Amino acid sequence: MSDEVTIRIVRPTDAAQLLTLLRQLQQETPFLLADTTDLASSATAETEQLTQLLQTDNNLLLVAALGDQLVGFARVAASSAPEIQHIGEVGIALLHEFWGYGLGTALLEEVLAWAQANPLMRRLELTVQQRNQRAYQLYQKLGFQVEGQMARGFYDEQAGFQTLIQMALLIDHD
């Protein structure tokens, strides 16, 4: 299946589809740590945000597309503040039907290649729910190290309080 999917940098014209994807992900997975207020954004506002994001050197948004349908994404969000512009927060999500095909690995490998080629990036960090062992193992496999845990760091209506694991990967440029 993964050979049918294209991984590419997001385009401003993807705004409406990206919002649709985010809303669907919010419905089908308990593992997202996203703020749902962003999902109320209009396609016009999202287009503007994507345009601004593409003008920065330390932010990345990749999408996984099956034909015209977006089925997942990987992002690196970083600040413009000089003191912390070298730190990127990583997030990855795929529609459930696309789990198990290596797309999460492919997306994260693209993120890592981008970070290694980007002289601004020196640290990638992420937060994952302890119960999300599939994602946790992927992050470990690709070199992320555990830096800490947050007991009761997330609340799920069905499962209750969840422990979050904080992980990071340092980027050394040759």
Q: What is the DSSP letter of 17?
A: H
Question: If you average pLDDT over every residue of the chain, what do you get?
Answer: 90
Q: How confident is the model at residue 94 (pLDDT cuts 50, 70, 90)?
A: very high
* DSSP class per residue in 34-97: --GGGGG--HHHHHHHHHHHHT-SS-EEEEEEETTEEEEEEEEEE-SSTTTTTEEEEEEEE-GG
What band does 38 get if pLDDT is binned at 50, 70 and 90? low
Regarding the domain with residue range 2-170, which homologous superfamily does it belong to in the CATH classification?
Answer: Gcn5-related N-acetyltransferase (GNAT) (3.40.630.30)
Least confident among 51-55, 60-64, 65-69: 51-55
> Is the per-residue pLDDT at 36 higher than 70?
no
The pTM of this model reads 0.88
pLDDT at 39 over 70: no
